[in-house]
């Protein structure tokens, strides 16, 4: 069996100049100086050629490929512009398909990309039907696929382009074309089975497929109305006049085929009466089809089918009358047959996916200057999430590096390993330089000494004299203040007394460690005294008492620690490389196209999209976590291994038994540690006190000079201080004895706070190699290495630890007022 497929016609169009339109848009958006950075002349010209080819006179297969590529470009552009596509100022002109019923093609012009897309999509579907028509004899399977794709395109048009002015694109017309393509695809699938071998064995399947084919053509026929509606007109609503007759003929013909094959299936089930009833239905349906055979008689052999049905009915009736005597029902209905749709709709997006990927790179370059603001906004949200992720990973990596550095530096692991090797391999006398503990303590003392030596406030006595001199100058200035400014003078004196008491406590804070500070200022004396404390000899052991039974075990453990140390360094380097890879991946990551392709998603879906995109960085994050976990395991393993080495070599016992100066040396080290800590606080906070006295002195001088200048005016009237000057002294309110406890309360009284002092921060540790001393982790030795670092001094009482709490309270003067009038 063969069939006749309806021939559709493509729409015609007028040329479009994409190069000119894109250049004009970019000039308007970015200005004449920078627009060319976003314009690719070659790609724009290629787009013009592609459109011309898609609407040219090429073979249908080539035309289809060109239209699919061009539509993919339009889709990429529409994703960027959306409803704002009119900004391109392009006139898209299309003509309706010229069918015999309408010889004059109507012309339509719009400026929206949606109109261009819908017209191109119509042509794509039409060309698919033309290619299917050409291949129906040679490759029916390919024809079925093309018709199903055309069905999807027309279906998409009917559901998404509802307001097009073109008659071809009216929803009812495209819906009609979609149904027709669906019916033709089902018909070809049916004929593929009918024309195959042993069709009689598939009678039931053929009946189901034929019934669905008939139903689809009936659905298509409904587009023309029915005779009972009185809508039968000489002029059809769309397409060619003969289409209605062909569709009606196929509707009845395949209904007849379905009934005939169902009769064959019933006969095989020995239901001869029911089979005869369906043969009657087949005969009646075929008679209705014969009435519409004008345009299909050369393709569909209706007469042969009629003869086949008639012969089969005659034979079956005869056998039933003489042999079976089966009852022939009069109410047989086609509804008893279950129809089967063999055509699976392939969504348009799925058809376009390979072409969208093919033009994605070129579209990103060609349309890179056309990015909606909302895409930038969403991309900035994603960039912030990337930054948060990178920031967290960098913090984790930095913390791991800090842990590594702290462990290696503050345990002096390389020196410990060298010291253990020297101590183990040396059988003669050893001096204190072989002890890694003493080496580290010596380096710490040198650092403290260097800090004190380079400090500008190392001469405590000269600083005391400087403070006393400033106090005297302030008091001398206050003696010549006029009586009307007496209250202000009292306020200044009150502030001076409070500051004096505070700084006296500060000086007493270092006076108690004057001897140690002086020693730190004298490196030669410090070195000499330290050498005395570390100058001891270890008696040469009796060679008979040496136990070499553990030599191999000790060497093995020392080598194991050294290997673990090397593994630590390798882990750190590996983590650094992973971090660099993560930075590079984050910086190079661009999901603009992903956001453009998902512009219509909700906020919840966008959040899920970002989470999915961030998952690409998880492998690097996991590798960083792995290095950190391994590093911590190695550090703990090194501590345990060192402890075992120390126990095997007897370092702890030897240190406590053979070192007579151990207790004295540790006491000396702790005293210098406390002295350095107090001096660091003193050197850090003394400048605040000096600045405070300078401020009071400046105020006293200004008040004195003002009082002298106003003596002559005093005889005539009582002078009034200038507004700002008077206001500054009004803030020196000493009537209230309640202390101001914080900045907020200070502002309530009109008294701005000074920067807080740090006298109460005595639990901090100091890096003596830098003037500014950030808090660092305590230098803890590995397990088993007793006394590597001197013990932390115990804190004093609260009043002693905070001798200048006066400066932690708000100041009694406003420094900002001086800058307003003192110049």
Banded pLDDT at 607 (limits 50, 70, 90): confident
DSSP bridge pairs for 93? 109
CATH superfamily of 441-536+674-713+726-821: alix/aip1 like domains (1.20.140.50)
| 320-321-324-329 Cα dihedral, nearest 10 degrees | 60
pLDDT value at residue 257: 94
Lowest mean pLDDT across 260-264, 522-526, 717-721: 717-721
Banded pLDDT at 450 (limits 50, 70, 90): confident
Order of strands across the sheet with 107-110? 12-13, 92-95, 107-110
Q: Is the pLDDT of residue 815 over 50?
A: no
Banded pLDDT at 342 (limits 50, 70, 90): very high
- CATH code for the part of the protein at 200-339: 1.25.40.280
pTM above 0.85, yes or no: no
Cα 630 from Cα 641, distance rounded (Å): 16
**pLDDT tens digits, residue range 484-515?**
777 777 887 788 788 777 777 778 777 878 78
Classify 772 as helix, strand or coil. coil
Tell whether domain 1-196+343-370 is in CATH 3.30.70.100.
Answer: no
Q: Is 792 left (phi over 0), alpha (psi -120 to 50) or beta?
A: beta
Identify whether the C-beta of residue 400 lies closer than 8 Å to the C-beta of residue 575.
yes
pLDDT value at residue 9: 92
Q: Is the pLDDT of residue 179 over 50?
A: yes
Structure tokens at 714: 């005093």
Q: Is the pLDDT of residue 354 over 50?
A: yes
Banded pLDDT at 102 (limits 50, 70, 90): low
Lowest mean pLDDT across 32-41, 535-544, 580-589, 626-635: 535-544
Banded pLDDT at 425 (limits 50, 70, 90): low
Average pLDDT in the 224-231 region? Answer: 59
Identify whether the C-beta of residue 634 lies closer than 8 Å to the C-beta of residue 564.
yes
**pLDDT tens digits, residue range 685-722?**
888 878 888 888 888 887 777 665 555 444 443 333 33
Q: What Rg do the C-alpha atoms of the chain give, in angstroms?
A: 49
Structure tokens at 589: 């990551």
pLDDT value at residue 22: 92
| 513-518-519-522 Cα dihedral, nearest 10 degrees | 160
Structure-token match 């509707």, residue found? 251
**pLDDT tens digits, residue range 118-148?**
999 999 999 999 999 999 988 999 999 999 9
What percentage of the chain exceeds 70 in pLDDT?
A: 77
Can 1-196+343-370 and 200-339 be said to share one CATH topology?
yes
Average pLDDT in the 714-741 region? Answer: 39
pLDDT value at residue 707: 60
What are the backbone dihedrals phi and psi of residue 362, each rounded to the nearest 5 degrees, phi first? -65, -35
Pick the closest to residue 431 from 535, 292, 558 (CA basis): 535
Structure tokens at 149: 């794709």
The mean pLDDT of the chain is 77
Crossing angle of the two packed helices 460-479 and 486-511, in degrees rounded to 10: 170
Banded pLDDT at 66 (limits 50, 70, 90): very high
- Domain positions in the chain: 1-196+343-370, 200-339, 373-405+575-654, 441-536+674-713+726-821
Cα 627 from Cα 416, distance rounded (Å): 25
Average pLDDT in the 77-102 region? Answer: 82
Half-sphere exposure of 638 (CA within 13 A, CB side): 25
Q: Is the pLDDT of residue 740 over 50?
A: no
Cα 181 from Cα 178, distance rounded (Å): 5
Identify whether the C-beta of residue 763 lies closer than 8 Å to the C-beta of residue 519.
no
Pick the closest to residue 80 from 29, 31, 126 (CA basis): 29
Average pLDDT in the 752-774 region? Answer: 40
pLDDT value at residue 362: 92
Distance from the Cα of residue 101 to its chain's centroid = 58
**3-class DSSP string for 309-320:** HHHHHHHHHHHH
DSSP bridge pairs for 107? 95
Structure tokens at 691: 């600045």
What are the backbone dihedrals phi and psi of residue 412, each rounded to the nearest 5 degrees, phi first? 45, 55
Task: Identify the top-confidence range among 113-117, 295-299, 403-407, 561-565.
Answer: 113-117
Banded pLDDT at 819 (limits 50, 70, 90): very low
């Amino acid at each position: 069996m063969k069939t006749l497929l309806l021939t559709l016609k493509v729409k015609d169009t007028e040329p479009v100049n994409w190069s000119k339109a894109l250049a004009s848009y970019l000039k308007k958006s970015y200005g004449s100086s920078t627009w060319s950075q976003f314009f690719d002349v070659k790609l724009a010209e290629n787009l013009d050629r592609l459109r011309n080819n898609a609407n040219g006179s090429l073979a249908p297969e080539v035309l289809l490929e060109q239209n699919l590529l061009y539509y993919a470009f339009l889709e990429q552009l529409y994703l960027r512009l959306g409803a704002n596509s009119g900004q391109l100022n392009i006139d898209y002109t299309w003509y309706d398909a010229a069918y015999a019923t309408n010889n004059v093609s109507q012309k339509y012009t719009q400026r929206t990309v949606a109109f261009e897309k819908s017209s191109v999509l119509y042509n794509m579907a039409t060309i698919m039907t033309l290619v299917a028509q050409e291949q129906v004899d040679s490759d029916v399977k390919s024809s079925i696929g093309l018709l199903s794709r055309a069905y999807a395109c027309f279906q998409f048009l009917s559901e998404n382009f509802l307001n097009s002015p073109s008659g071809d694109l009216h929803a009812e017309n495209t819906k009609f074309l979609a149904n027709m393509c669906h019916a033709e695809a089902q018909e070809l699938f049916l004929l593929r089975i009918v024309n195959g071998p042993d069709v009689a064995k598939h009678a039931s399947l053929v009946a189901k497929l034929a019934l669905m084919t008939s139903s689809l053509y009936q659905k298509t026929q409904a587009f023309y109305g029915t005779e009972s509606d009185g809508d039968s007109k000489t002029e059809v609503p769309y397409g060619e006049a003969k289409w209605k007759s062909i569709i009606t003929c196929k509707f009845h013909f395949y209904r007849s085929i379905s009934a005939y094959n169902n009769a064959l299936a019933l006969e095989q089930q020995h239901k001869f009466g029911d089979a005869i009833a369906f043969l009657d239905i087949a005969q009646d349906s075929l008679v209705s089809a014969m009435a519409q055979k004008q345009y299909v008689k050369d393709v569909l052999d209706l007469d042969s089918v009629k003869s086949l049905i008639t012969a089969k009915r005659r034979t079956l009736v005869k056998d039933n009358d003489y042999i079976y005597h089966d009852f022939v029902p009069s109410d047989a209905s086609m509804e008893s047959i279950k129809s089967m749709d063999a055509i699976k709709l392939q969504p348009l997006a799925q058809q376009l996916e390979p072409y969208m990927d093919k033009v994605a790179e070129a579209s990103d370059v060609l349309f890179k200057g056309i990015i909606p603001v909302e895409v930038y906004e969403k991309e900035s949200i994603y960039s912030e999430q990337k930054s948060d992720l990178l920031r967290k990973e960098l913090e984790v990596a930095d913390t791991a590096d800090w842990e590594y550095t702290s462990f290696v530096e503050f345990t002096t692991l390389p020196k410990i390993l060298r010291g253990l090797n020297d101590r183990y391999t040396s059988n003669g006398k050893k001096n204190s330089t072989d002890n890694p503990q003493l080496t580290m303590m010596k380096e710490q003392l040198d650092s403290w000494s260097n800090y004190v030596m380079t400090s500008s406030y190392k001469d405590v006595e000269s600083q005391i004299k400087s403070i006393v001199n400033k106090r005297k100058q302030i008091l001398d200035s206050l003696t010549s203040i006029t009586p009307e400014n007496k209250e202000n003078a009292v306020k200044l004196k009150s502030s001076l007394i409070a500051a004096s008491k505070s700084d006296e406590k500060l000086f007493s804070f270092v006076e108690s460690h004057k001897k140690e500070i002086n020693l730190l200022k004298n490196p030669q004396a410090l070195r000499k005294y330290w050498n005395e404390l570390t100058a001891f000899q270890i008696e040469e052991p009796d060679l008979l008492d040496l136990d070499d039974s553990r030599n191999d075990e000790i060497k093995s453990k020392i080598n194991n620690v050294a290997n673990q140390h090397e593994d630590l360094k390798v882990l750190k380097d590996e983590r650094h490389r992973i971090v660099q890879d993560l930075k590079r991946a984050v910086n190079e990551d661009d999901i603009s196209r992903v956001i453009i392709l998902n512009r219509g998603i909700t906020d919840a879906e966008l959040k899920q999209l970002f989470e999915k995109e961030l998952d690409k960085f998880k492998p690097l994050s996991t590798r960083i976590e792995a290095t950190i976990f391994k590093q911590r395991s190695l550090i703990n393993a090194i501590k345990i291994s060192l402890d075992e080495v120390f126990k095997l070599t007897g370092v702890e016992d030897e240190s406590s038994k053979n070192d007579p100066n151990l207790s004295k040396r540790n006491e000396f080290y702790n005293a210098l540690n406390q002295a350095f800590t107090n001096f660091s606080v003193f050197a850090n906070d003394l400048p605040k006190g000096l600045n405070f006295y300078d401020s009071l002195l400046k105020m006293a001088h200004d008040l004195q000079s003002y009082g002298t200048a106003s003596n002559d005016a005093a005889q005539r009237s009582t002078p009034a201080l200038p507004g700002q000057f008077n206001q500054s002294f009004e803030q020196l309110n000493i009537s209230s004895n309640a202390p101001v406890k914080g900045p907020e309360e200070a502002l309530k009284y009109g008294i701005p706070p000074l920067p807080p002092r740090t006298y109460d921060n005595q639990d901090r540790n100091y890096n003596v190699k830098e003037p500014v001393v950030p808090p660092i982790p305590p230098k803890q030795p590995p397990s088993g290495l007793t006394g590597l670092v001197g013990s932390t001094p115990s804190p004093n009482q609260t009043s002693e630890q905070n001798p200048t709490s006066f400066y932690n309270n708000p100041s009694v003067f406003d420094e900002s007022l001086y800058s307003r009038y003192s110049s």
